[in-house]
């Protein structure tokens, strides 16, 4: 039986593995995709302590190698459900079942979609959810970013270095993004901010050629010709594996700064937890706290 099963190998999960192994526990990381989480696609990270500047891939790879050097186990399997059993838990994946004394859920979140007609059809043909992943395909072209938070504005600034023009489309006059980012966006010559508009329709045969926007105040429509639309309107927490096991709030697994869930023996770390700040540093913090809490739980059994 595994001492600590960590579901999700992003920054939070990998940090949990490091702390669990340092405490002498048998730790297994479960991941259905590549290790590292969303940060892998980020070209430059400048806000993680200890690194003035580092690529997201290099940072994730470094944390992963640190966990592996401590003999944490890595299992490539998508965990679909977690259930209680006498003395622990059963994790059911695509390729098998696993037993663990404690579980740390660090499954993160996925990108939220616009939810309009033809969106799925045009993914990869003009619609993208990752500017750093796909931005190079639109070099010299006209693109747009939908969203009003830090990610949306950061995406627009990144694209401005590649594209001839970038629109920022936001449904409100005000932005959630930090003012420093907004100031930089306003000063960037090839960025144009369009508010308050929502994306109403996608146009183009076989690939995106334009979008029709609707003014959120007066309902008037505006058409802009673009070849790429990058959607950055938030995230959806990945809580499927924990359904019926732990209490959630607003779709996120409910837990305080102690990372303790409503189910004894189950802990949560990273973006999937109810919290105000979702950053790499807070993900790492959660991972450490959750692992030490799991260690204490095992020692008390």
Contact between 78 and 195 under an 8 Å Cβ cutoff? The reply is no
Angle between helical axes of 179-187 and 150-160 (0-180°, round to 10): 30
CB-CB contact of 65 with 14 (8 Å): no
List CB contacts of 41: < 8 A, sequence separation 6 or more. Answer: 56, 130, 132, 133
Is 71 known to be catalytic? no
Catalytic residue among 134, 155, 271, 286: 134
Give the other-Cβ count within 10 Å of 95's Cβ. Answer: 11
Cis peptide leading into residue 47 (ω within 30°) = no
263 is a catalytic site residue: no
* Pairing verdict, β 97-105 and 73-76: unpaired
CA–CA dist 191, 197 (Å, integer): 16
Compute the distance between CA of residue 3 and CA of residue 26 in angstroms, rounded to an integer: 5
259 tagged catalytic: no
Give the 3-state secondary structure of residue 293: helix
The answer to whether residues 267 and 295 touch, using CB atoms and an 8 Å cutoff, is no
Could you say which of 3, 61, 117, 133 is catalytic?
133
Task: Fill in the DSSP letter of residue 23.
Answer: T
Whole-angstrom distance, CA of residue 248 vs CA of residue 105: 13
The gap from C-alpha 64 to its chain's centroid, in whole angstroms, comes to 17
List the catalytic residue out of 58, 86, 117, 130.
Answer: 130
Distance CA 31, CA 37 (A): 10
Catalytic residues: 130, 133-134
């Amino acid at each position: 039986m595994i001492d600590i099963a960590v579901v999700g190998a992003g920054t939070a999960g990998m940090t949990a593995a490091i702390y669990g192994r340092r405490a002498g526990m048998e730790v297994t990381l479960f991941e259905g995709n590549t290790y590292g989480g969303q940060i892998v696609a980020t070209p430059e990270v400048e806000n993680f302590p200890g690194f003035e500047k580092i690529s997201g891939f290099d940072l994730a790879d470094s944390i992963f190698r640190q966990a592996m050097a401590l003999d944490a186990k890595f299992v490539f399997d998508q965990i679909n459900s977690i259930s209680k059993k006498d003395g622990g838990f059963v994790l059911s994946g695509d390729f098998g079942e696993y037993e663990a004394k404690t579980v740390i859920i660090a499954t993160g979140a996925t990108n939220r979609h616009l939810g309009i007609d033809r969106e799925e059809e045009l993914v990869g043909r003009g619609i993208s959810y990752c500017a750093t992943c796909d931005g190079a395909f639109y070099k010299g072209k006209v693109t747009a970013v939908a969203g009003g938070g830090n990610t949306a504005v950061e995406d627009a600034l990144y694209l401005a270095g590649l594209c001839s023009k970038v629109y920022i489309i936001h449904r409100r006059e005000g932005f959630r993004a930090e003012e420093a980012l907004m100031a930089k966006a306003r000063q960037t010559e090839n960025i144009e901010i369009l508010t308050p508009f929502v994306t109403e329709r996608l146009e183009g045969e076989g690939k995106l050629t334009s979008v029709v926007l609707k003014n959120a105040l007066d309902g008037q429509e505006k058409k802009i010709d673009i070849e790429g639309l990058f959607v950055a309107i938030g995230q959806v927490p990945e809580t499927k594996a924990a359904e019926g096991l732990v209490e959630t709030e607003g779709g996120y697994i409910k837990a305080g700064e102690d990372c303790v869930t409503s189910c004894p023996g189950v802990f949560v770390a990273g973006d999937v937890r109810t919290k105000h700040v979702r950053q790499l540093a807070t993900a790492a913090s959660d991972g450490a706290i959750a692992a030490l809490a799991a260690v204490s739980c095992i020692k008390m059994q």
